[in-house]
Amino acid sequence: MPRATTNTSAVDWTDAPCPVARTLDLIGDRWSMLVIRDAMDGVRAFTEFQRRTGIARNILTDRLRKLTAYGLLAQRTAPSGRRQEYVLTDAGRDLFPVVLTLRQWGERHAFEPGEPHSTLLDQHGSRVPDLAPTGADGTPLTCETTHVRKVDEQPAAPDQRPGDAG
């Protein structure tokens, strides 16, 4: 499968070997994520992105250009044939769990108890259940039960975590 980006050589990576840092370099600003969110909600037209987000035209133009260059959106002729529209690519649709996790974190931590907010529903009208990452054996994963193997780090022995004396 090809990389999500079509031109990563022009990106000034914050921390090149880190997937989190690279992802944030590509989509980590507020406007990019709101454009992706709205594209997931079916928005296609420039004017509709602008209306829903309140973003300035020049900033929206820049974000749409970058998201298209990075391979997250594709531009195509609208069915009317009179304007261009933006649609998610496979790489853009792959951001759904990211947007869902941000939404669910926001529901838990960005609102006061009882404060109204939008709710994501499945195709049957039920609230989407919380995402909970699990390991290969089905046990819940947390920051305490995982670790990152750095590019220059040798794999740890099965019974030794990186950083353990040994």
Joined tokens for residue 146: 């995982």
Contacts for 76-84: CB closer than 8 Å, 24+ residues apart? 78/44, 78/45, 83/45, 83/46, 84/46
Q: Where is pLDDT greater, at 150 or 10? A: 150
Q: pLDDT class for 158, splitting at 50, 70, 90? A: low
Q: Quick one: average pLDDT of 115-119?
A: 95
In a domain, 156, yes or no: no
How many Å apart are CA 54 and CA 31, to the nearest integer? 10
CATH of the domain at 40: 1.10.10.10
Note the pTM of the prediction, 2 decimals: 0.81
In a domain, 7, yes or no: no
Q: pLDDT class for 17, splitting at 50, 70, 90? A: confident
CA dihedral of 126, 86, 27, 63, whole degrees rounded to 10? -130
Q: pLDDT class for 6, splitting at 50, 70, 90? A: low
How many Å apart are CA 70 and CA 8, to the nearest integer? 7
In a domain, 131, yes or no: no
In a domain, 46, yes or no: yes
How many domains does the structure of the chain reveal? 1
Percent of the chain past pLDDT 70, that is, above it, reads 87
The CA-atom distances, in angstroms, between 88 and each of 4, 74, 93, 125, 160 are 11, 6, 6, 24, 42
Q: pLDDT class for 2, splitting at 50, 70, 90? A: very low
In a domain, 103, yes or no: no
Mean pLDDT for the chain overall: 89
In a domain, 153, yes or no: no
Joined tokens for residue 137: 């054996």
Range of the domain at 70: 19-92
pLDDT at 165: 46
In a domain, 109, yes or no: no
pLDDT at 128: 96
**Number of CB atoms found within 10 A of residue 4's CB:** 19
In a domain, 3, yes or no: no
